[in-house]
Amino acid sequence: MKKVLTVLVVLALALVIVACKASSKEEAGAESASLTPVTLMMPRSVESLEDGPLYAALAMGYWREEGLDVSIVDGGVDDCKMLETGQANFATPAPAITIPAIANGIKVKSFFQYDNIDIFGFAVQESSSIRTWSDMKGKSIALGMADWQGLAEPILLAAGINPKTDVQWIVAGESRAAMVENGNIDILFTWVSEVYQYNGQGLHLRYIDGNEVFQNCGNSFITSQDMIDNHPELVVAFARGLAKGMWFVKSSPEASADISMQKFPAISVPWDVAVLLAKGRADMNFGLTAEDQAMIGSNIGWHYEDKWQLNMQGSIDSGTISSALPLNQVYTNDFIEQANNFDRAAVERDAANYQFKVKP
């Protein structure tokens, strides 16, 4: 009799476990079905430790809270066209890509400023004789993709270098940093956090900061005019989830580094380099001074007219557009107030209470 009772108890427990699992699956399925799928196209490979706000928004459920199921995919080629044709919903190119696309009739618009300083610059071998901007004349510059030349040219122009005649451009793809390290190409076009990552992986590169000569703003988030006109609630949801992710990284770069290293375990860098990358990302988002951080932090995602005027002039000077466009054709701040309507203290608590999984 005892054996029979034992068997019955075991069976009952098994049925409870199965029922609970089935219920969990049903709840997960119901939650997934209630989310709107959207696609974010990156301007390069997603395999990077410098996109902390995006993966914080995913890992901490900030986009799910806004009703979105966000997929992040590789991009970098015709991002603007793919938004206009509905093949992706959001992208984050540099202004030097966005402005000419709009001038050429592609119906996209920036709705959220991401990088608030000029994140781009150049890197050379640590032992290189290239020390000043003028030393770049007559040298070769490695690009990841051909259209990156449009990102680099305004910086060189501001430094007094003719990008058409004074340098040689070489499209070197994913091997570009190694080719500079090995001496096959003189200069790497890059950005500050990427150099941190490369050096953390064992390269020896010295950074020449574009922000010294060209104090504009960098990449922003853009979407199609159709999305803005017909699905503004999705734009708000995306922007608010992103703003939460940015605030999370600012609140705890260490927690952001832990999330990114979990996401991309194949990127092997020391822990302190991963944290440095996260801190660098927060600086790019919120600025380098306490004054800038307070101003930008109170209105995350705001487009500043003076910086976009500088971007516009850079596009004219480099020849990618023939005349200035009205700024209201290029960006909108209409979504920023709603994007900032979230509980910052709650996000700070999330960051403070984060349970580390990778941190040594």
Contact between 265 and 178 (Cβ < 8 Å): no
Whole-number pLDDT of residue 25: 43
In a 3-state reduction of DSSP, which class is residue 77? Answer: coil
Whole-number pLDDT of residue 99: 96
What residues are paired with 108 via a beta bridge? Answer: 224
Rounded average pLDDT over 267-273: 90
CA distance 259 to 251: 14
Whole-number pLDDT of residue 45: 86
Q: What is the DSSP string of 180-215?
A: HHTTSSSEEEEEHHHHHHHHHTT--EEEEEGGGT--
Q: In what order do the strands lie in the sheet with 220-224?
A: 68-73, 36-41, 90-91, 220-224, 108-113
Query: In the predicted model, is pLDDT for residue 190 greater than 80?
Result: yes
Read off the pTM. 0.80
Query: pLDDT for 280-333, tens place per residue?
Result: 899 889 987 788 888 899 999 999 999 999 999 999 988 999 999 999 999 999
Which fold would CATH assign to domain 120-212? D-Maltodextrin-Binding Protein; domain 2 (3.40.190)
Query: pLDDT for 271-283, tens place per residue?
Result: 999 998 999 899 8
Whole-number pLDDT of residue 290: 85
Percent of the chain with pLDDT over 70: 90
**Banded model confidence at residue 2, pLDDT cuts 50, 70, 90:** very low
Tell me, yes or no, if the two domains 34-117+217-352 and 120-212 fold the same way.
yes
- Reading the block at residue 283, the tokens are 């600086």
Sole residue written with tokens 């803005």 = 228
Domain map (residue ranges) of the chain: 34-117+217-352, 120-212
Whole-number pLDDT of residue 24: 44
- From the centroid of its chain, how far is CA 108? 18
Query: In the predicted model, is pLDDT for residue 193 greater than 60?
Result: yes
Span 34-117+217-352: which CATH code? Answer: 3.40.190.10
What residues are paired with 169 via a beta bridge? Answer: 141
Rounded average pLDDT over 183-212: 90
Q: Which residues contact 10 (CB under 8 A, 6 or more apart)?
A: none
Contact between 119 and 285 (Cβ < 8 Å): no
Query: In the predicted model, is pLDDT for residue 256 greater than 90?
Result: yes
CA distance 83 to 1: 69
Rounded average pLDDT over 345-359: 97
Q: What is the residue type of 196?
A: Y
| Residues 239, 242, 248: CA angle, nearest 5 degrees | 145
Whole-number pLDDT of residue 156: 96
